[in-house]
Structure formats: structure tokens, C-alpha cells
Amino acid sequence: MIHPIDAQLRALFQSGKPIRGLFNGLASPALVEMTAFAGYDFTIIDNEHGSAGLETTEHMLRAARASGLPALVRCLEHDIARTLDAGASGLQIPMIRDAEHAKQIADKVRYPRSTGYAGISGQRGCAYSVRAAGYGAFGGVTHNEKSNQDVMLVLMLETVPAIEAAFEIASTPGVDAVFIGPNDLAHSMGYENRFQDPAVQAMIEKGVKGIARSGKCAGVLALTPEDEQRYASWGARYFASVITGILTKALKDNASAGRGDVVTKISY
């Protein structure tokens, strides 16, 4: 039997190699499968800005597991428990404020007596009737231990104070990776969505280097190969793009084919 929780995700993030993921805010299990067939390393089901409800999220997780694609779910803090019970192999939590906030999140993700995580006071509630525990087929202490060991936790830094605390946040026990959200960071700095501005890029560089110094995997949105190369030179390994931007560009290019020179520009 295949366990709902996919240990491939942790192996990917601990590989030391560059990894490429795709944010998917569209409520479609088919797009999850297409992401797998396209060759992405993993997907991020986006329930912060996406439209999927919990039932559809569970189906998207099934599609990911069936197609062999590791999947994170970006969800809001109040959705942590139900998203984990749906069988998410990893969570990506936005808008982390500081190291104390990071610890609070790490405690919510782990069961009590967290195996292998010194300094964590697990607060996750136990229920073995849920998909994550195979509806009881994988229940009990074995499920708790597997969840504590294999479920990934990625935190997001999207403000200047969070960037300033990047090393401390990344060093928090139970945090596996830290991702910088450049769009919200730019807004918090007064640059609207202009995250390519040198001042915003300097702040991203500071954050990436702080995360990398902690020994944890540093991630950032990278919409072009040039972005990826630049962030990699600062120490990032987790690079993500956005499915809507890719699809919209492909559709615009197809719609405008043969109608003259049209430059397609997509905003994140």
C-alpha cells in the first residue's frame, strides 16, 4: 500500500541540489498531473490565493500522489490542522513575522513528543480516521512518528522585519526551508509590485544569505532562468514559478500568432 504522506518531498529539499516547483492556485487535479508529466520536481498547491476548497485540495493531493509528484500546500495558519489531515506532505505558511512566530507554527505542525525534533512542543491534534492516516489503516504511534519525520514545513518571509530575522527564523527547530515572497516584500517596502527594483533585490539577497547560513534550504520566486541564476549565486536552491503566468503567456502567444510582433508580458 502507498502511504498518503510522500517522503520524497523531504528527500528533495535535503538533496543539496537545485529544485524547481510550480505554484498552482487553480482548483484542478488535472493540472497537478500535468505538472508531474511536464517534469517539475514538485508543486505548491496555493490555498492562500487560490480558489480550491478542502475537498478539491484533497483530490489535488491524490492526483499528486498518484502521479508521483511531491506536493506542498501553501495555506493560512488557521487551515494547518485540516490540511495536514487531508494528507499534505508539506506546508508552506505565509507572512511569518519572527522566530517566535516560526516556533508557534512548528509546534502546530508536529504531534506531541515530536520524534527527532528537540525544542518542539508538538500541538497537533490526533485523529486516525483521516486521509493522512489512511482512514485508520496507518493510525497510531507509527502515523504520528511518520508525520513528524516526513511532513515538510516551509515558512515565508514577506516583510523587512522578517528578512532581518531570516537566520533566526530558519534556525528554528522544525523549520525545513524558508521561502522569500518578493511581491509582498516589495509592497511592504513601498515599491508596489516592482520586486526587480535594486532595493528590493538587495533585501532578497540579504534574506537568502541569512537562510543559507542557517543550513536550511532557501527559496524564492524565480520567473526566468536569469532570476534563478542570480538567486542561486546568493545561496538559494528552491525556485518556484506560477502556473497562471505560464498558461496565460502560452495562450496569449497562441492567440496572437501570425498577427504581427506581440510582446507578452505577464504580471505575477
Place of cell 508539506: 90
The model's pLDDT over 201-248, given as tens digits with 9 standing for 90+, comes to 999 999 999 999 999 999 999 999 999 999 999 999 999 999 999 999
Give CA–CA dist 247/217, Å, rounded: 28
Domain range summary for the chain, segments of one domain joined by +: 8-256
Give CA–CA dist 120/117, Å, rounded: 6
| Catalytic residue selected from 49, 78, 101, 143 | 49
Give CA–CA dist 180/94, Å, rounded: 9
Residue 64, pLDDT score: 98
Looking at the domain that runs over 8-256, which CATH code has it been given?
A: 3.20.20.60
Is residue 47 within 8 A of residue 17, CB to CB? The reply is no
Instruction: Give mean pLDDT, residues 101-110.
Output: 96
Q: Extract the C-alpha cell encoding 228.
A: 534563478
pTM of the model: 0.94
Per-residue pLDDT for 118 more than 70? no
Per-residue pLDDT for 268 more than 70? no
Judged by DSSP in three states, 257 sits in coil
49 catalytic per annotation: yes
The model's pLDDT over 8-17, given as tens digits with 9 standing for 90+, comes to 999 999 999 9
C-beta neighbour count of 253 within 10 angstroms: 12
C-beta neighbour count of 33 within 10 angstroms: 18
The model's pLDDT over 149-185, given as tens digits with 9 standing for 90+, comes to 999 999 999 999 999 999 999 999 999 999 999 999 9
